[in-house]
Structure 1
Amino acid sequence: MTSRMVVAIAAGAALFRVGAALADDAPKLPELSPNGADACFGRVYDAAHLKAHPKQKVARIFFFYGHDPVSRPNEEPMANADTSYNGFLTTTVRGAKKPEWAAGWCNKEDPSDKASGIRCGMECDRTLASLKVDDKGRLIVSNVQPDVYLDAGAEEDLGTAQYNKQALGSEDDNFRLDPMPAATCKAEFARIDPIDPALGAPLRERLKPDQPFCYGRDYDAAHLASHPDQVTQSIRVFRGPVELASFAAGGDVANWPDGADIAVSVTTRQKSGKVTQTYACQGEADQWRCSASSKMSDFSCDISQKEIFLKRGANGTMMLANPNSALAIVDLCSKAAEGKTTSDDKVYRLNPMPQSACSP
């Protein structure tokens, strides 16, 4: 299990794929969007059509041209946001509970020719689709590759049988989509990974660069008795005067939370005193990825590869994941700290606390 997966489990939801952030520029292909607004095209196939086309897997298909309908507030700095995608395809195959999606860049194949077709490209010089609008305003989506949702080289990696199972069908091309309200496409893309309103704003908005914070938890005897393999008795995650001064001296507010230092203090069943470790964080998708640093550390070895992950939890809580022995419940320089955490000290749900609860 990867560390990213561990954090996802901690939050009780699957990781969502984060696409490009909201684009600043209005759509520039008048064929798709005559007024420069976001444009939506879609079709839901009925049972009769699907029965007549047994090799068509796609039961629902929508194409959105404009600002990214998939991304949502996340932990990556807005200064680093990719604003280049402008075409988004989503399909739901027969029997699937939710759609798959892909994004690309849509441009005229020949910008100097008004009659030129439109090609939407993807990473690795792949094609998302070719587009044209017919005389009734419907969008013709063609050149859709069977592996549009798979990695390049997937057929070789997966083998023929598994590839055919995951790829689109031989009749999944040349779709004729009707113009629809932009809200219809946004609602369809929202089915991919529904937003949990209890999560609220991302940590990078909730926690300010120039303000301290303190989160923690003290485990009572009943909890520890029911979790005999948990070593942690008390834990605190905080930014105090030292961490604030460090960011003020060298941090870039526009790239927050990249470069943010946090401190983690742990008291274990075996130790009477606290052990404190500092981590340097950066935003990554829907979490902060924090590497152990030598600042304010009780250890002197190279521990930069020891990482923890912070993620927003429901109702104002913070989730901390320690998948690879990255908390100072053991000496981070010791053999015991190598590899994955073997105790129950992997995922913590922390509550906001007064700053005094995180004082040395």
Structure 2
Amino acid sequence: MVLPVGFAAAADANLQLFGRDVGKEKAYACYARKYTKAHLASHPDQNVRDMMVFVDSHEDEEGAGRQYVLGMSVNFRQLKQPYSTYGGCSAGTDGKQALNCGIDCDGGTIGVRIKDRNSILLDIPNGARVSDDDNEEELSELPDGAKFGSDDKIFRLDRTDLSACLPLATDEETRAALRAAH
């Protein structure tokens, strides 16, 4: 059997991204990182204090293939409340990106690369629109500190327990699956 170009790469990226062969079933991945004071001191132009990424994936019932949604929560240095963003993703076809994600309503792009078995690299070359989790305000209405800095372009995040991503789950079915996973 000859696989279409890019199919093997996408299957391998799924295996690495989700940590297992997901076949046709729903799959979830959670990655996070809290930056240390020492790291932040050595990167004064990095505004991101910590970040969490949740990837929700399923096979489309109408035959369009595997679908991906990325949710991201970020805490900025000077602000206490988290900010989040969501977008749909497509499987990478360039051999570099596992996922290419567009943030809803032209809010930027995020690329997901596989670093190793338990880590990803998140590429946010031009920032991304975020909203206040409590008020869902638009970016223009957010405090000055609620934006990506000039050193907020590439992030290494490490795989973590799925239950850590409960705040990023968008429906009760997904939340129940995340609770049951650990």
Any unmatched runs of 5+ in structure 2?
1-12, 58-66, 132-137, 170-182
Normalised by the length of structure 1, the TM-score is 0.34
Alpha-carbon distance between aligned partners in 2 of 1:65 and 1:185, rounded to the nearest angstrom: 9
- 1:102 matches 2:85: yes
Given that residues 47 and 147 in structure 2 are in contact (C-alpha distance below 8 angstroms), is that contact kept between their aligned partners in structure 1?
no
- Describe the superposition over 1:97-153 as per-residue Cα deviations: whole angstroms up to 9, x where unpaired: 22100011121233xx6x25221112334434101111343110012533421658x
Matches within 5 A, 1:237-248: none
Alpha-carbon spacing, 1:59–1:182, altered in 2? closer, same or farther (3 Å):
same
Alpha-carbon offset, residue 45 of structure 1: 0.7
Name the % identity: 26
The match for 1:183 is 163
Report the residue type matching 2:129 in the other structure: V
Alpha-carbon offset, residue 180 of structure 1: 0.6
Alpha-carbon spacing, 1:129–1:55, altered in 2? closer, same or farther (3 Å):
same
Report the residue type matching 2:33 in the other structure: R
Pair member with larger Rg: 1
Any unmatched runs of 5+ in structure 1?
1-27, 68-83, 191-360
The match for 2:42 is 52
Alpha-carbon offset, residue 165 of structure 1: 4.0
The match for 2:52 is 62
- Describe the superposition over 1:68-96 as per-residue Cα deviations: whole angstroms up to 9, x where unpaired: xxxxxxxxxxxxxxxx7611111011132
The match for 1:138 is 119
Matches within 5 A, 1:6-155: 29-33=14-18, 34-36=20-22, 37-66=27-56, 86-110=69-93, 115-117=95-97, 118-149=99-130, 154=140
Alpha-carbon distance between aligned partners in 2 of 1:147 and 1:136, rounded to the nearest angstrom: 26
Report the residue type matching 1:109 in the other structure: G
Q: Cα RMSD (Å) of the superposition?
A: 2.9
Given that residues 102 and 149 in structure 1 are in contact (C-alpha distance below 8 angstroms), is that contact kept between their aligned partners in structure 2?
yes
Alpha-carbon distance between aligned partners in 1 of 2:56 and 2:68, rounded to the nearest angstrom: 8
- Describe the superposition over 1:289-309 as per-residue Cα deviations: whole angstroms up to 9, x where unpaired: xxxxxxxxxxxxxxxxxxxxx
Alpha-carbon spacing, 1:128–1:52, altered in 2? closer, same or farther (3 Å):
same
Normalised by the length of structure 2, the TM-score is 0.62
Report the residue type matching 1:139 in the other structure: I
Bigger proportion of residues as strand? 2
Alpha-carbon spacing, 1:96–1:85, altered in 2? closer, same or farther (3 Å):
farther
Matches within 5 A, 1:160-171: 165-171=145-151
Given that residues 88 and 104 in structure 2 are in contact (C-alpha distance below 8 angstroms), is that contact kept between their aligned partners in structure 1?
no
Given that residues 92 and 98 in structure 1 are in contact (C-alpha distance below 8 angstroms), is that contact kept between their aligned partners in structure 2?
yes
Alpha-carbon spacing, 1:183–1:57, altered in 2? closer, same or farther (3 Å):
same
